[in-house]
Amino acid sequence: MILTVTLNTALDITYRVGSLRPHASHRVSEVTERPGGKGVNVARVLAALGHEVTVTGFKGGATGRVVQEKLAEVPRVADALVPVSGATRRTIAVVDERTGDTTQLNEPGPVITPAEWSAFQEAYADLLHGVLAVALCGSLPPGVPVGAYAGLVRTARAAGVPVLLDTSGEPLRRGVAARPDIIKPNADELAELTGSYEPLRATQDARRRGAGAVVASLGPEGLLAATREGRWRATPPAPVRGNPTGAGDSAVAGLLSGLADHLPWPDRLTRATALATATVSAPAAGEFDRGLYEELLEKVAVTAEVTAA
């Protein structure tokens, strides 16, 4: 079983409009609601790949109940969300059908009390028993200490569970110092962490700061990985038109799936790149175009940057 942690879970609401125009009224052609947050998206992709997944984080209020109800509809995903007094946030995505562009509005999330944070840490430690890997994903809701992910990384390492960290800013900087097995920043997050805009140099710098492996998302250019075994670049055959929201989450799912299946790094990167690219052409985060994914598994190019990292 794989555990995903989404401290700032959400109900993802997507509106589709013919053309998005500022200062105008819009007729919505379609509305969808899905359980969301980065770790939840990761869990849905992992489940679609056939893995058993447990989702944890916080739930609260009427929105939290809707998230739980919709999670119960996802095969192979178990709900271990921890209740809080505040309300789970909503994220609003408005898709312009004319251009394909998406405008995103993200609420901050509920304020977490010290007692609620302590209860979560106890539940998290219990959930680590028998877990193949854990992913720590996304932003921190108000009230959670900025060093929260660092503590969760240390707890996983003490339990002997490989841990992947996917966050940004100060939570990433502190989390890296706790020595996670993998981090998966995008190019901007990596530059903010290291001060370098040259990806090869930045991935090596991030490893020196404590990460066992660094897999950087470079958008349509694919993934760049620096690991103990070597450095690789994984590139899709061609850009795919669509909505890139959730592509990074699918890449995380591919990395975790490859870890659980004991694949070598080049094959993990192939899987992660194929999933991320196939997500761009899917309608929502946490989903992917399976036919395109299977086609891309044969077409993603993985090249070694150096023989050793």
Catalytically active residues, by annotation:
249
* Burial label, 260 (beta-carbon count in 10 A; 0-12, 13-18, 19+): middle
Report the C-alpha gap between 127 and 159 in whole angstroms: 10
Torsion sign across C-alpha atoms 279, 282, 284, 290: negative
Cα separation of 50 and 4, whole Å? 15
The token duo for 19 is: 């053309």
Q: Phi, psi at residue 206, to the nearest 5°? A: -65, -35
Residues in a beta bridge with 301: 235
Instruction: Specify whether the CB–CB gap between 15 and 65 falls below 8 A.
Output: no
Residue 212 CA from chain centroid, whole number: 18
CA distance 56 to 70: 14
Phi (first) and psi of residue 44, to 5 degrees:
-65, -40
Q: Which of 109, 192, 250, 186 is nearest to 258 (CA)?
A: 250
Token digits for 42? 């990761």
